[in-house]
Structure 1
Amino acid sequence: MSFDHSSNLESQPTNWRREDDPEFSDDPEFRRFTSDLNDKLFGLTSNVSRLSSQIALIGTRRETERVRERVRDLIDETSNGFKEIGDGLKRVSAWHDLGPAQRFTQSKLNREFQASLTEFQVLQRTAIEKERASAATARAALEDQSGSPSQGQSQYGGQQQQQQEQEQLRLASQDEVDFQESLIIERESEIRNIEQSVGELNELFRDVAHMVHEQGEQLDVIDHNVVGVLDDTRGADTELRTAHRHQKAARNKACCLLLILAVVLVVVLLAVLL
């Protein structure tokens, strides 16, 4: 199917459809449902843009726990939104008695959804890579920190006061180590959650890609039919023009014959009278 034909048909208004023809009748429920899906998809596109800007901060000096929290929230919210729209698109694909304009609306939604989901999946993988690198750096720093008390303890010995101070420092340091360790474990768990979300969206992406492929074949058939109707219309117009020319020529011939008969009749009448 040519892109020009597809674009032209998509841009055609839908108010030309006959209300008494079920194949071309307008469906208010379909229009409302697809409009709602389109609005939700637009909202997810905004989420993807914000997520991209937040992920860019991970691994830089501007990375904070708040940044990582926003990244996690945006990923969860956007992932759930894509799943919801994906279920809606599956419902649209099973809609009955769709006209050509509605099929193009359906196909357009699927293509836009597929493009947005692809961009989101790329950001998910980028977030996983950056989170892993950041967690590895934090764990390495934690291991260095946890090794420092034993080194400090070997430098002191003998006096009870010094041992008590060292014990307090060790306990305080251990509490900090445990706290940082819990944060790292939490981040690693969040990374696994993102990976699980990536797997779920991969399944959704394959389903939508399959629907796009099937609708592409349907649109090819519609485009072929449209081209066929256009060719038939042009052929009929040519035949009508030819018939019109023949009819005009026949009228001219009839007029000439009538004129000749009139002249002959006048001549005969004059001959008889004279």
Structure 2
Amino acid sequence: MSFDRLNSLEAQPTTYRRSDDPQYHDDPEFQRLTESLSDQIFTLTSNVTRLSDQVALLGTKRDTERVRERVHNLLEETRNGFREVGEKTKKVQNWEDVNPSQKWAQQKLTTEFQATLKEFQTVQRRALEKQRASAAAARTAVEEAEHPTEGGVQLEQQQLLEEQPRLANQHEVDFQEALIIERETEIRNIEQSVGELNELFRDVAHIVHEQGGQLDLISENVDRVHDDTQGASVELRGASRYQKNARNKACCLLVILAVILAIIILAAVLG
């Protein structure tokens, strides 16, 4: 390739295809996985928002069994969703031979996953605190119903003299005990989930940290190649200039030789 051709190639603009171009499908399986993962993270984000709204009702006048049921179902659904998404996120992070656009997708999905998981952990802890407070209050109420205080005994005796006795219903006590057991079970489930998801968060963060070191090495290599390429380009331009100068000098010499030759021929003819 001549230096003139090289210069013309250097002057041409370089074009790139965007990663979101419909024609850009270098790894369909990776694309399907990341698109599915993005949709699931969006669903989890919506669940966390709904869960936060329901948890805010616990312990208030709007606290009902229906609210607690929704909280329980959302917790279970979201926990399972995070476990599934966590495994897919680790799979995406461990994908081999990724190009720059895929690396960007890895980082984006991991950041979104970590942010959503962190928010869910916060909501879980808030639900755990309210469940503990509710269970403790219910336990206290049951204990007071089973073992009334001295003032309560005197009041009850006075009421027995004035009206029909109003004794604690054993069935109601049993029902409250069952509710307390159910809430304590839910508390244990939440505590276990917090630990499991914390472990998942650490696993993903560890993978990201390891890849961060690899990215630093890649970045250093890219910078080094860039510097070497610039140096080579400067040398090529210099060589091109030298070649042009050499051609110009050669042309000048040929002209001088032609003039001298013409003079000699003229001198020979005239002589």
Q: TM-score range by the shorter chain?
A: 0.7 to 0.9
Q: Which of 176, 188, 192 does residue 184 from structure 2 map onto?
A: 188
Q: Secondary structure at the match of 2:61?
A: coil
Contact 2:40 2:85 in 1 (8 A): yes
Q: Which of 229, 252, 259 does residue 256 from structure 1 map onto?
A: 252
- Output aligned runs, 1:102-117, within 5 Å: 102-117=102-117
Q: Secondary structure at the match of 2:18?
A: coil
Residue aligning to 1:86: 86
Residue aligning to 1:175: 171
Using the size of structure 2 for normalisation, the TM-score is 0.78
| AA matched with 1:188 | E
| AA matched with 1:42 | F
Q: Secondary structure at the match of 2:57?
A: coil
Residue aligning to 1:5: none
Residue aligning to 1:218: 214
| AA matched with 1:223 | S
Residue aligning to 1:43: 43
In the TM superposition, residue 216 of structure 1 has moved relative to its aligned partner by 1.4
Q: Which structure is higher in RCO with an 8 Å CA cutoff and minimum separation 6?
A: 1
Any unmatched runs of 5+ in structure 1? 1-10, 20-24
Contact 1:142 1:177 in 2 (8 A): yes
Q: Which of 238, 243, 248 does residue 247 from structure 1 map onto?
A: 243
In the TM superposition, residue 206 of structure 1 has moved relative to its aligned partner by 1.7
Residue aligning to 2:135: 135
Any unmatched runs of 5+ in structure 2? 1-15
Counterpart CA distance in 2 for 1:219 and 1:212 is: 10
Residue aligning to 2:18: 13
Residue aligning to 2:158: 155
Counterpart CA distance in 1 for 2:99 and 2:121 is: 33
In the TM superposition, residue 211 of structure 1 has moved relative to its aligned partner by 1.1
Counterpart CA distance in 2 for 1:182 and 1:140 is: 14
Counterpart CA distance in 2 for 1:217 and 1:260 is: 64
- Output aligned runs, 1:195-234, within 5 Å: 195-234=191-230
Percent of paired sites with the same residue:
59
Per-residue deviation, residues 33-84 of structure 1 (Å, max 9, x unmatched): 2321222122111111222222222233333322222222111111111111
In the TM superposition, residue 91 of structure 1 has moved relative to its aligned partner by 3.4
Counterpart CA distance in 1 for 2:43 and 2:36 is: 11
Number of aligned residue pairs: 250
- Output aligned runs, 1:48-87, within 5 Å: 48-87=48-87
In the TM superposition, residue 12 of structure 1 has moved relative to its aligned partner by 7.3
Counterpart CA distance in 2 for 1:152 and 1:63 is: 31
In the TM superposition, residue 158 of structure 1 has moved relative to its aligned partner by 6.9
Per-residue deviation, residues 96-127 of structure 1 (Å, max 9, x unmatched): 55445434433433332222212211111121
Per-residue deviation, residues 198-223 of structure 1 (Å, max 9, x unmatched): 11112211211111112212222222
In the TM superposition, residue 250 of structure 1 has moved relative to its aligned partner by 1.2
For residues 210 and 158 of structure 1, do their structure 2 counterparts lie closer, same or farther at Cα, with a shift above 3 Å needed? closer
Q: Secondary structure at the match of 1:40?
A: helix
Query: Aligned Cα RMSD in Å?
Result: 3.1
Counterpart CA distance in 2 for 1:158 and 1:137 is: 31
Counterpart CA distance in 2 for 1:112 and 1:214 is: 18
Contact 1:107 1:215 in 2 (8 A): no
